[in-house]
Chain A
Amino acid sequence: MSTLRYVSAATVLAAVFVAAWLLASLPEAGRSLSLSVLLGAAFGIVLQRSRFCFYCIARDFIDRKETAGMYAVLIALGAGTLGYHAVFGAFLPVPSPDRLPPGAHIGPVSLALVAGAFVFGVGMRVSGSCISAHFYRLGEGALASPFALLGAGLGFVLGFATWNTLYLAWIQEAPVVWLPQQLGYGGTVLLQGVVLAALAWAVSRRGGAKPVAAQAATSPWLAVLRDRWPPAVGGILVGFIGVIAYLRIAPLGVTAELGSVARTVASSTGWLPGRLEGLDTFAGCATVVKSVLLSNNGAFVLALVAGAWSAALAAGAFRPKLPSLKDIARNFGGGVLMGWGGMTALGCTVGTLLSGVMAGALSGWIFGAACFAGVWAGLRAVRAPAAA
């Protein structure tokens, strides 16, 4: 039985490698599309194996005082901060006052960011996962997740519809705060390191419940292929993949392609305002109207699902289950909230929180705090049992 699992997991992974190999030969964009596929698959494997799901982590911590996941997130942010700043030193030797590192997810700090992140947090609670986790759950056979992603698409369209109003009221004049401009690279790394350590201390103070006893692996193979990876391993790998992705292609993000598809569909039906003021001038999970079939982000997300699928097959965690109507409705509704929140905040837990904090963006920290508050409020207000 396990042989069959391993063979099917290897087949999925082989398909990913073949896709990367075929894409590499395309002129001009081929190299980065190929690398996007490889990084996406690696990210999917790491998310699935280490259960790096922002909602589950926050819920486990708030409701059950479990700390392992929180440590994983803090470790990912710490590892990524170190790596990002090493890259910045090569890209922009001196952090200049009128220039931002290219493509880094450093967004405006405004009430719209707070509102978007909070609603995103509530949406996570309602649908049972954040957007990146819905992608990796898709690889585990979660048949309700497509409805969450569909809902997120609709949420994006609603976000586009409200964008111009929010942009003119709050976003246009909001400060874009990149910490190295104030503190230098060394100062930023030091400050973020201290804040992350303080958060780790606070987490350890609150953590009460004993961590779930890890199943002792009988062999190194099983430790990798079957058992959950230790949170620290997941955190370090997420940080590592984030840095490589930023160095070679763009910061990690999982909503750009989803947003682009939503924008392209809505534009062609005439539902959107003719102009989305200033939207395309921001770095972040930008949502351009699609002009090519396969973008780097699209390739990344598809490979993420495939990577998670392969990891789930190997671990015996691929268990497709038909969702109930209630599950579908909840996933879809949560997806709508996440779509609106993610669009308004210019990204989600991966794009704005992970990639933003790693880059020393104040917007990343604000997103993290508001999103956590949203999950907390959601847990208090929404009684629906979590699917995850």
Chain B
Amino acid sequence: MSARKLLLGVFAALATVVSFPATAQHAKYLVTTEWLEKNLNDPKVRVVEVSVNPGLFERGHIPGAANVSWHTDLVDTVNRDIAPPKQFQALLARSGINADTTTILYGDNNNWFAAWGAWIFDIYGIDNVKILDGGRKKWEAEGRPLSNSAKIQTAGTAQIKQPNPALRAHLQDVLAVARNDKQGVLVDIRSADEYNGKIFAPNGVPELAVRAGHVPGAVNVTWSKLVAEDGTFKSAAELKAIYQAAGVDGSKPIITYCRIGERSSHSWFALRKLLGYDVRNYDGSWTEYGNSVGSPISNPSGTVWGKT
């Protein structure tokens, strides 16, 4: 064996050892489409679809899946809050989730709202929650079976715990980091044009803030960088490198945000679950921050609402 080959072998072994904990995280919080198809009939596995687009579930979903509507099931529409405990408890019962159930969440748009679901499941202390890697996109692309019969599940008995505040950031937490009163890293997962203030929001988007730009000090790591072409999350080593390049290494607490807090839960999932960092999701996000009085912003483009 040449010295070069030996060196390469040592490096490869080292890389495996270093990335092992994170790889294990992938296995702990993600399941493959192949695994799910094999385990669909396991009574301890319950599949839950959280899609952005209405009507997808009804026209074909993973057989036996429960349908969760993020617009109404996962939010409190009156208080602009996450689903209140009673509502979430009822959702668990309706979805047939017991204490020993392994819940697999999946959805369209690269699992955006499945990740939002995972965040809320985590806040309420429900264990054994995983995401189907690649979501609907991969399942459909592989031609795996879909069903359009909605099933009424036997009521589940899983009990929620007190909401965990350590997973959620509020406006004052973000302001504290923006004003350097607290240590932390803000990760803005929106497009570069939104981050730089060139546009207020992408075309056709109804949720707006009157200011464009980002929270001072936030770094821009667009969520789409985290997934491969087939919608699966990139490897732990790749994710680590992407964040490292933006100065996010897990040494300080992290806050993720987007426009309304749903897509940022996708990045929250990658950072918290797959890389094991200390991360909170800011669900108020730019629609709250950009509109809130007395909050400083950074707007490199200098755009001003209403100025022509």
What is the CB-to-nearest-CB distance from A246 to chain B, in angstroms, rounded to a whole number?
Answer: 9
Interface 0/1 of A16-36, CB less than 8 Å to B: 000000000001100000000
Cα distance A103–B54 when bound, in Å?
Answer: 8
The answer to whether B204 touches A101 (Cβ under 8 A) is no
Please give the number of chain B residues whose Cβ is less than 8 angstroms from any Cβ of chain A in the complex: 16
Interface of B is mostly: loop
Of B58, B72, B204, the residue contacting A98 (CB under 8 A) is: B72
The answer to whether B59 touches A90 (Cβ under 8 A) is no
Of B141, B148, B149, B203, the residue contacting A27 (CB under 8 A) is: B141
The answer to whether B149 touches A90 (Cβ under 8 A) is yes
Asked whether B152 is an interface residue with its Cβ less than 8 Å from the other chain, the reply is yes
The answer to whether B204 touches A92 (Cβ under 8 A) is no
Contacts of B148 in A (CB 8 A): 90-91, 247
The answer to whether B58 touches A102 (Cβ under 8 A) is yes
Of A94, A98, A102, A248, the residue contacting B54 (CB under 8 A) is: A102
Asked whether A2 is an interface residue with its Cβ less than 8 Å from the other chain, the reply is no
A27-B141, A28-B137, A291-B204 known; A102 vs B150 contact (CB < 8 Å): no
Of B58, B59, B137, B141, the residue contacting A92 (CB under 8 A) is: B58
What is the CB-to-nearest-CB distance from A96 to chain B, in angstroms, rounded to a whole number?
Answer: 11
Asked whether A289 is an interface residue with its Cβ less than 8 Å from the other chain, the reply is yes
Contacts of A90 in B (CB 8 A): 148-150
Contacts of B150 in A (CB 8 A): 90-93
Instruction: Give chain B interface residues in 104-151, CB to chain A under 8 Å.
Output: 137, 140-141, 148-151
CB closest residue in chain A, given B141: A27
Cα distance A2–B306 when bound, in Å?
Answer: 66
The answer to whether B58 touches A248 (Cβ under 8 A) is no
CB closest residue in chain A, given B54: A102
Interface 0/1 of B153-168, CB less than 8 Å to A: 0000000000000000
Cα distance A288–B205 when bound, in Å?
Answer: 12
The answer to whether B72 touches A289 (Cβ under 8 A) is no
Cα distance A298–B60 when bound, in Å?
Answer: 23
Asked whether B43 is an interface residue with its Cβ less than 8 Å from the other chain, the reply is no
Asked whether B55 is an interface residue with its Cβ less than 8 Å from the other chain, the reply is yes
Of B55, B141, B204, the residue contacting A289 (CB under 8 A) is: B204
Contacts of B204 in A (CB 8 A): 288-289, 291
Contacts of B140 in A (CB 8 A): 28
Instruction: Give chain B interface residues in 9-57, CB to chain A under 8 Å.
Output: 54-55, 57
Cα distance A157–B181 when bound, in Å?
Answer: 53
Can you report 8 residue pairs joining A to B where beta carbons are below 8 Å apart?
A27-B141, A28-B137, A91-B58, A91-B150, A102-B57, A247-B59, A247-B148, A250-B55
Enumerate chain A interface residues (CB-CB to B < 8 A).
Answer: 27-28, 90-94, 98, 101-103, 247-250, 288-289, 291
Contacts beyond the supplied A102-B55, A102-B57, A102-B58: 20 A-B pairs with Cβ under 8 Å: A27-B141, A28-B140, A90-B148, A90-B149, A91-B58, A92-B150, A93-B151, A93-B152, A94-B152, A98-B72, A102-B54, A102-B59, A103-B54, A103-B55, A247-B59, A248-B59, A250-B55, A288-B204, A291-B203, A291-B204
